[in-house]
Amino acid sequence: MKIAVYPGSFDPITNGHLDIVERSSEMFDTIIIAVFANPRKEPLLTVEERLDLIREVTRHLPNVQVDSFEGLLSDYARQRSAKVIIRGLRAVSDFEYEFQMSLMNKKLNPNVETIFMTSSSKNIYVSSTIIKEVSALGGAVSGLVPRAVENRLVEKFYHRKDGDNE
Ligand code: PNS
């Protein structure tokens, strides 16, 4: 069984992430999309919201599992018997941090290999951060995130109930 972990914040999942998942799901028996529950970051979406959205938009991929993790990714990969970590690369600017992470993960878990997949050109400028900023300021993000994510962003930014202070 070739098991690969695709880790990230996924706050929220974008079409760039989904493209990497779809392409890598053809290369491995199982892909585990692993949402990092980062105690040091204040996300827009809760871990549960992120997991629900990811489950919804990957429903068509039978070999894709969705999970969250705390602590080190290298430990999580070991725990899930995954020998591969998948990361998407959009531009050279991503490379330095990704290179550092892959070497550190290899040091912490010598059985794990990081593989990088290049983003499709249409998604090269798409990031969760830029999607949140554009959406919060009223810009359209259709075509850049799945419809379910688009709807959730609209709910988050524009349909807040009185007293909601998320
Ligand atoms: O989507 P992101 O925010 O670029 O994903 C970053 C992520 C979650 C893959 C990275 O921060 C991570 O692996 N965090 C888990 C904690 C850990 O193992 N840190 C050391 C990495 S060398």
Closest CA to 14 of 100, 118, 129, 161: 129
State the distance between the two ends of the chain, measured CA to CA, in whole angstroms. 41
pLDDT (tens digit per residue) in 84-101: 999 999 988 899 999 999
pLDDT (tens digit per residue) in 39-60: 999 999 999 999 999 999 999 9
State pTM to two decimals. 0.95
Closest CA to 35 of 53, 57, 61, 59: 53
pLDDT at 163 over 70: no
25 lines ligand 1 (CB under 6 A): no
Domains of the chain plus CATH, in order, are 3-124 (3.40.50.620)
37-71 b/e with 16+ CB inside 10 Å = b?
eeeeeebbbebeebbebbeebbeebeebbbebbee
Question: Does residue 43 have a cis bond before it (omega within 30 degrees)?
Answer: no
Catalytic residues: 17, 41, 90, 128
Ligand 1 centroid–CA 19 distance in Å is 20
